[in-house]
A and B are shown apart, each in its own frame.
Chain A
Amino acid sequence: MIEGLLIGLAAAVTPFNLMMVVFGCVIGTLIGMLPGLGPMSIIAIMIPVAIGLGDPTAALILLSGVYYGAIFGGSTSSILLNAPGVAGTVATSFDGYPMARKGQAGKALTIAAIASFAGGTIGAILLMIFAPALSTVALLFHSAEYFALMVVGLSAIAAFAGTGQVGKALMMTILGLMMGTVGEGALSNMPRFTFGIMELQSGFSFITLAMAMFALPEALFLVMNPARAAQGEGGKITGLRISRSEAKAIAPVIGRQSLQGFFIGVLPGAGATIASFLGYAVERNIAKGKEQEEFGKGSIKGLAAPETANNAACTGSFVPLLTLGIPGSGTTAILLGALIALNVTPGPRLMTDEPDVFWAVIISMYIGNLVLLILNLPLIPYIAKILTIPRTFLIPFILFFTLMGSYIGQNNSTELLILVGFGVVATLLRFADYPLAPLLIGFILGTMLEDNFARAMQLYQGVGFILERPMTLALLVLAALLVLLPSYRARRARKRAEGVADGD
């Protein structure tokens, strides 16, 4: 591990890469503060820049800086304006905004920065300890297991992302898989489902799809419903310092939530949102008497808990990405796409084949967290001012960046029409409460899933591999359970509720 750390240090700590971390953190924080642009959209916007760098290490460092910056930026707008730009920071606004209303905006931002820093750093240490262990296990995996593992990942994402609506999430996953089959397949180089359209020959562009699924619907929602971006009075930002007793109060919260958040983040599909809500709920239950009443009215514990948990979870979500090649969240799915574009295939071989990339990412997490803290503490009073940009300026710019992101990738205006078309479809899907992250993850994993399935089929001359390889079978059973269990439980609960209503 020490050797690995040294490799990582050598690769990451060059003046250029340090500049990239700082640049990424600043960009991430600035854009992340704008309501509606979450880490997912920002990373999608930054991908052309990162790919343009050409060096996977520098690109990853830049993107992780952006990622951390965006999460912190999202908390800023949650606290100051009660306008959480990202689902993961919704829980932050529960106590952060009341604090800001009480004139403690500065303190709230400081606690958020420190909690994020602690969560991220502890998460990075856990990642360093657990990722190698996970990846040695992963080396036992063959194409059959890979196929099964991806099925598990997709069903876990569907099962968690749906929050009780597994059917809808599964439908989106299958739609994503279908979109992944458009274009020339790796199997036979035969164009499939292109309907004779030249532009579809190479399939849909991943950046276009990411923009259309996340950034565009959010921007359209902001247009349709100005209340969503309503700008409250930020209040004066005073009193940055936290007292010794306050520090003592939040220390155990940060400790617990770093661990809990990290392990929730490792689960594919759970991610920062669930971690932050769960962290808030757990801390609220643990707190005693008067402290519990404070929750929701400006409790520092209630602010520290979700902030720590969502940062630790973000770090945790790198474990399945880096060791198994399975993105656990929409954001890591976008990162996976970027890595593949840079000719790095995350997976069990990443640590052995390209240790410098692997360790540089971990080192860049430490540096990113540190830079974020150093940058943000003095900047807090100025940061808030950007939020006063009127939405009449803001929205055209968001739309323009979305269009640019997809145009730069392909240099083709047809891409823009595809983007707008998918964006409208995605907005409709969001109206109807369909989760969009499973679609994107299905699209990204689709090709890999099919390739591994095809390889296993060819090796075993048929579907026999499912029975011949016990691990494959076990994983597929697990996938089935993940999908079926929530609907079974919901059904039983419904049956029971009906029984009660009948006077049974």
Chain B
Amino acid sequence: MALDRWIALAFIALCCVYGYAAFFTMDDSLPPILRRNPIWPSTFPKMLTIAGIVVGMIVLFSPKPAADADKAKADGVIDLSRLGDYHVGQALALIGLMVAYAFALRPVGFLSSTVLFLVLGAVILGERKLHILIPVAGIAAGSIWYLVQEVLGIFLRPWPTFLV
């Protein structure tokens, strides 16, 4: 089964969970006065559930368009059947790095975590010129911090918690 059909299947499963919440859990907490309304908070989600399951089924069971098979793959388009040829590892490492950044941002502070993020990101991609990389990352992090904190007035803790 092709990836797009798996996604359609997952979408139908999502619709079922969503629909269960809409049909069986939402109406109980509705105050009696609102029950006289022609529209309840669950009405629209219920409609979406039905529409979603119908459309999901159509995508799941409709035959693959013929044009798709002989459509020439343009340059730079990812061909899933050769996934091994691509730098999937680098992409996964960068996703992991972003998650780490999300957890580090508060405790480690903006400036230190951003410099680390930029440097490690470039290193993952194969950059080795650290003498250029570190100053560039530092300047970028510093100027963004200045823009956000001083110009826009949004608080960003610059240094690790134990220093402040």
Contact = CB atoms under 8 A, between A and B. Distances in A.
Interface of A: 48-49, 52, 164-165, 167-168, 170-171, 174-175, 177-178, 181, 185, 187-188, 190, 192-193, 220-221, 223-230, 390-393, 395-397, 399-400, 403-404, 407-408, 411, 413, 416-417, 420, 423-424, 428-429, 431-434, 450, 453-454, 457-458, 461-462, 490, 494, 497
B146 interface: no
Contacts of B103: 413
B13 interface: no
Contacts of A165: 65
Contacts of B52: 171, 174-175, 178
B127 A190 contact: no
B38 A461 contact: yes
A431 B3 contact: yes
Contacts, number: 174
B99 to A, nearest CB: 6
A404 B98 CA distance: 11
Interface centre among A178, A413, A420, A432 (most CB of B within 10 A): A178
Given A181-B45, A181-B48, A228-B76, A497 B88 contact: no
Interface of B: 2-4, 6-8, 11, 14-15, 18, 21, 26, 29-30, 34, 37-39, 41-45, 48, 51-52, 55-56, 58-59, 62-63, 65-68, 75-76, 78, 80, 86-88, 90-91, 94-95, 98-99, 101-103, 105-106, 114, 117-118, 121-122, 125-127, 133, 136, 140, 144, 147-148, 151-155
Contacts of B18: 178, 193
Contacts of A454: 39, 43-44
B10 to A, nearest CB: 9
Q: Interface residues of A: mostly helix, strand, loop or mixed?
A: helix
A396 B101 contact: no
Contact of B56 (A171, A403, A424, A497): A171
A431 B127 contact: no
Nearest to B132: A393
A396 B152 contact: no
Contacts of B62: 167
B48 A457 contact: no
B114 A192 contact: no
Nearest to A432: B4
A225 B43 CA distance: 45
A149 B101 CA distance: 42
A493 B39 CA distance: 42
